[in-house]
Structure 1
Amino acid sequence: MKRKLLSSGLIVALMFGLPLQLARAAVYSNGTATATFTVTLTLNANCSIAATPLSFGSNGVLTSALNQQTTVSVTCTNTTPYNVGLDAGTVTGSSVTNRLMAGTATGNTGTTVGFELYQDAGHTVLWGNTQGTNTVSGTGSGSAQPLVVYGQVPAQTTPKPDTYQTTVTATVYF
């Protein structure tokens, strides 16, 4: 019976435009209870490395040194110490002290152009792959840290025209 009266009252209020009192949320006063939980994340020392190509452009006779630079970017977790090394490249006979690019044209195998990679703009410190000897060290900041690689093709006997290339691998040790 109460339900019918309540429904009837609602219908009458709507028909005559009378204001309705909205139902209020229940308020409890018997007390509260809480629980906590732990949120965790374990960050391990980690690094990643990225490199951009190094191009010495187009040239004719190699009578003077060609200098160019590129970057290797290292991203390591904050406070993680690292070393970055550059290998000799993929051309047979290359070494850190005597890097070589090889001709790419058919019939031009074995023809090479020498080049070097340095840690400094003055071209005095070779960049190699032996930790503690010729690598570049740093400490991670949690953000990318660009490292400049200074390249030089020294004056040398000019081989036949071709495109010369190699692939150098940059490694981050941490």
Structure 2
Amino acid sequence: MNRPLRCVALIGIAAALGQTVPARAAVYSNGTATAQMRVQLTILPGCTVAASPMTFNAVQGSATGPVASTSSLTVVCTASTGYNIGLNAGTVPNSTETNRLLAGTLTGNTTTIPFGLFQDANYATPWGNTQGSNTLGDSGTGVMKTYTVYGQATLSATMPAPDVYSSTVTATVYF
């Protein structure tokens, strides 16, 4: 089969299958006209935050004094976006940012254990949720940044009942 007949045959098969064959563009030489097309993308300031759990090691017997643990926060903010990271008081009633409480989870256990969250390993800078006072400030780079949260629970001379003591603290990024 010669070439023109093969083309006609392929066009006929494509048409029978419901396929369209693109038309070839013609060549024109009468002149040209142009227009500019603006292309634009707007990036708005934005941040995301994620938190890993903080789990203190289990305590047995008559331990007293501080028990330490850490957690991490990961933040991604658009480049050059200033932000503050805050941690609230938690979900246990009567908790404050400077005196957070862990509460027992067993029915009838009303005991609480005080704990603090800090921005530094020396437990010198409490981590709160008041911008300009006790939040941690930084600026976005467009990539993930990781921050360590240092926790310290305080056990008194009177050991609380065996239980799992907990609270849920909310991390907020203000930008």
TM-score (norm 2): 0.79
- Name the CA distance, whole Å, in 2 between partners of 1:119 and 1:75: 18
Within 1, Cα distance between the matches of 2:174 and 2:4? Answer: 76
Shift of 1:58: 1.2
Q: Which stretch of the first structure deviates more once superposed, 77-86 or 38-47?
A: 38-47
Q: Which amino acid aligns with 1:150?
A: Y
Q: Which residue of 1 aligns with 2:90?
A: 89
Match of 2:165 in 1: 164
- If you compute each CA radius of gyration, which structure gives the higher value, 1 or 2? 1
| Post-superposition offset of 1:10 | 7.1
Alpha-carbon distance in 2 for matches of 1:137, 1:72: 13
> How far apart, CA to CA, are the structure 1 residues paired with 2:160 and 2:3?
103
Aligned position for 2:46: 46
Give the 5 Å matches for 1:3-82.
Answer: 28=27, 30=29, 34-60=34-60, 61-82=62-83
Using the aligned pairs only, state the percent identity: 47
1:100 maps to what in 2? 101
Q: Is the 8 A contact 2:113 2:154 kept in 1?
A: no
2:144 aligns to what?
A: 144
Aligned pair count? 154
1:27 CA displacement: 8.2
Name the CA shift for 1:149/1:9 in 2 (closer, same or farther; >3 Å). closer
- Structure 2 residue 124 is the aligned partner of structure 1 residue 124: yes
Cα offsets for 1:18-40 (capped at 9, x unmatched) = xxxxxxx8884726555442221
Partner-residue secondary structure (3-state), 1:65: strand
Q: Deviations over 1:103-147 (max 9, x none)?
A: 001121x21111110000011110001111110000011111111
Which one-letter code corresponds to 1:169 in the other structure?
Answer: T
Is contact 2:126-2:134 (8 Å) kept?
yes
2:154 paired residue number: 154
Distance 1:112 1:8, change over 3 A: closer
Conservation of the 8 A alpha-carbon contact between 2:129 and 2:135: yes
Q: Structure 1 residues 58, 9: CA separation in 2 closer, same or farther (over 3 Å shift)?
A: closer
TM superposition shift of 1:154: 2.3
User: Unpaired segments of 5 or more residues in structure 2?
Assistant: 6-23
The 1:54/1:34 distance shift into structure 2, 3 A limit, reads same
* Residues 123 and 27 of structure 1: CA distance in aligned 2, closer, same or farther (over 3 Å): same
